[in-house]
Amino acid sequence: MTHHYDLLERLRAQGHRLTPQRDMILLAVHDAGGHASAEEIHQQVLLQNPNVDLSTTYRTLELLTEMGIVYRTDMGDGTSRYELAEEEMHHHLVCRRCGRVMDLSHDVLEPLQERLRADYGFAADFTHMVFQGLCEGCHGESTGEP
Amino acid sequence: MTHHYDLLERLRAQGHRLTPQRDMILLAVHDAGGHASAEEIHQQVLLQNPNVDLSTTYRTLELLTEMGIVYRTDMGDGTSRYELAEEEMHHHLVCRRCGRVMDLSHDVLEPLQERLRADYGFAADFTHMVFQGLCEGCHGESTGEP
DNA sequence: TTCTTACTTGCGATTGTTTGCAGAAGCAAA
DNA sequence: TTTGCTTCTGCAAACAATCGCAAGTAAGAA
């Protein structure tokens, strides 16, 4: 596992400053173990230092996202989720009926990515896609939400 | 062109009520001619009746989206865009560097849709996808935002 | 036509996220 | 260590979008 000090060093190497808040926030993202909301991450940070502002958490998460250290994912439920980018690239299938989330390996998207590059000259950012739809258990029952 | 009264009739056919607000909002979506924000649609409605509330516009747009009468698209700029669903199903490639928007025909997505169904039993909602990335003119110049 | 009832609306409050600003603090150089 | 520059933070306010509630109203029944 990549130690989080290495990641913090990447911040400084790119001219950003290494602050206690950033340290705590990055550690909280790591400890959350994936798919954590900004609010959840912030609550975790507050346990260590109750003065850290929520906007600082948001700004830091954005910085880490820009640097590629964390992934931000919009699962379609109105809140963004964050997770460390150290694991293998993967995607999500989200059932709009029961909310079930399935992982999707990247190689399923590679043919599409290749075709977009070949036919449109477009280099798609397939870093952490989310596809909405109906899962196996839900799309047999056609319409009628619970 | 599908007349908007036909669309309003579809509302009533599904047990929803046909109110002047819904009439105005649907007409505003039509007049906007695609990719209009909720706020822009609301401003258009206010010209006809300044008492219509923004939340009514949002609720109506959500209803129309659920019924498949309009498409909601998140272009990645923080605000959702709405357009009538009467045209052919299509998708967008959005360049994150220069903002250029390209149309993408649906048949490019069909192999992926089929594979998700076959391998995962997942019926993906590929109604109006948006893929972020770099267009032909922008991804030659590697990094360095303007 | 009037009645009735469930669906809609306007309003205000709330959520999730972003931004502007003044003071605080990291970091490189002296 | 101190200085000085610049970035970062906390605070408060703005923002897009949603929600709860009481009053309003469409549409079928009588």
Strand C nucleotides in reach of protein CB atoms, 7 A cut-off: 7-13, 16-20, 25-28
Fold of domain B90-133: Dna Ligase; domain 1 (3.30.1490)
- CB < 7 A to strand D: residues 125-144, chain A: none
pLDDT band at A138 (very low <50, low <70, confident <90, very high): confident
Are B4-84 and B90-133 in the same CATH fold?
Answer: no
State yes or no: pLDDT of A144 exceeds 50: no
A78: left (phi over 0), alpha (psi -120 to 50) or beta: left
pLDDT tens track, chain B, 146 positions: 456 777 887 888 777 888 888 989 999 998 887 788 888 899 889 888 888 999 999 999 988 888 888 888 876 666 788 888 866 677 888 887 777 788 888 899 999 999 999 999 999 988 778 888 888 888 765 443 33
CB neighbours of B131 closer than 8 A, spacing ≥ 6?
A: A116, A122, A124, A125, A126, B91, B92, B93, B94, B104
Contact A133 B112 (CB under 8 A): no
- The CA R_g of chain A, rounded to the nearest whole Å, is 18
Angle at A96 between CA A90 and CA A102, to 5 degrees: 25
Name the residue ranges covered by the structural domains of chain A.
4-84, 90-133
**Chain-wide mean pLDDT for chain B?**
82
Please state which CATH number belongs to domain B4-84. Answer: 1.10.10.10
Contact B122 A74 (CB under 8 A): no
- The confidence score (pLDDT) of residue B76 equals 66
